[in-house]
Structure 1
């Protein structure tokens, strides 16, 4: 009999606790319960398009200070002009060592991005020429549209051309990173000797 009373008391206690949990958890439908880190749910940062009293002009999205360079960005401060092209020819030199690995990488990039117009050997006989487009000059025999022999193009001239484009050639700055452009420059120098 004593054991039955213990089970009855234990059963009543369990039912009471369960009922109180159910009752208290169903009161406020909008409550998410306890928050361990409320700053993860209620942000204190301003959205870029919101007004911000912390700045004089009231804008959250601010321009970076003049002369700064974003992380991972390589600056190329030569304008897309003939003067910039000629200045790059004098001042810009390759930042990579001339290794067989870099030349092989340059060859792979050249075959992907450049050979459709310039041909596999840089003679200006790519597949687009077969479709009626004008042929680019040969790297070893032709003349540059900005003067001088193509075989004498410098690092700076080739890099400037890849970055900005020239004549019918568009810019490849969005397709090739600065390091990849330098690898293509190395491979073009190899093709100039053929």
Structure 2
């Protein structure tokens, strides 16, 4: 009985080992061939996998991209005025938010607006940009600051692609702190 078990084990081992030297010209079975050799479609080409037959698909109406926060005010003077009156910062004024607001301000704003918000940044000193506003001279609110960071205004471009919604509100909070210091 022991000999039969030993012989069986040796035969199974030899059979398994012999499968390693089999002819490789015959491929194994592929149960999902599309997973092995997927069909590549060009961006604007026809694609039979979609109802409209196109590869490029628009997002479904009403969906919001991951990581994006909707902003209810349009990029116009009316939107600016509405944001100035109605938009409020929901972040808590604390050291962490102010610290990150300062960090973002130092990266994106200080070169034009200056360290204190007086409109005397290094680019203004070198006459690269003129007419940068002083925060104390402007009638600004947290809504108007956020709106300008979001869309830009006059010579200032939008910073919405560089800053997340939270970072924009943190910069807004820091700008309000600078304005308070300037008004003293």
Q: What aligned pairs does 1:88-107 form with structure 2 within 5 A after superposition? A: 88-107=83-102
Give CA-to-partner distance per residue, 1:106-165, whole Å, 9 cap, x none.
11111111010000000011000121120411112x2xxxxxxx2x41111000100111
Count residues with an aligned counterpart: 166
TM-score, length basis structure 2: 0.77
Secondary structure of the residue aligned to 2:109 is helix
Correspondent of 1:122 among 117, 120, 124: 117
Correspondent of 1:166 among 153, 156, 161: 153
Change in 2 beyond 3 A, CA 1:54/1:39 = closer
TM-score, length basis structure 1: 0.73
Runs (4+) of structure 1 exceeding 6 A deviation are: 44-47
Q: 2:24, 2:169 → 1: CA distance?
A: 66
Contact 1:125 1:135 (8 Å CA) reproduced: no
Structure 1 unmatched ranges of 5 or more? 1-13, 143-149
- Give the CA RMSD over aligned residues: 2.8
Q: Which residue of 2 aligns with 1:51?
A: 46
Give CA-to-partner distance per residue, 1:24-52, whole Å, 9 cap, x none.
32444xx3x45587553144897754533
Structure 2 unmatched ranges of 5 or more? 1-13
Q: 1:175, 1:117 → 2: CA distance?
A: 16
Is residue 64 from structure 1 mapped to residue 51 from structure 2 by the alignment?
A: no
Instruction: Compare 179-188 and 50-59 and name the one that shifted more.
Output: 50-59
Change in 2 beyond 3 A, CA 1:180/1:27 = closer
Q: Which residue of 1 aligns with 2:103?
A: 108
Q: Which residue of 1 aligns with 2:134?
A: 138
Contact 1:106 1:184 (8 Å CA) reproduced: yes
Is residue 193 from structure 1 mapped to residue 167 from structure 2 by the alignment?
A: no
Q: What aligned pairs does 1:9-88 form with structure 2 within 5 A after superposition? A: 22=21, 24-28=22-26, 31=27, 33=28, 40-43=35-38, 49-53=44-48, 55-88=50-83
Q: Note the C-alpha offset of 1:105.
A: 1.0
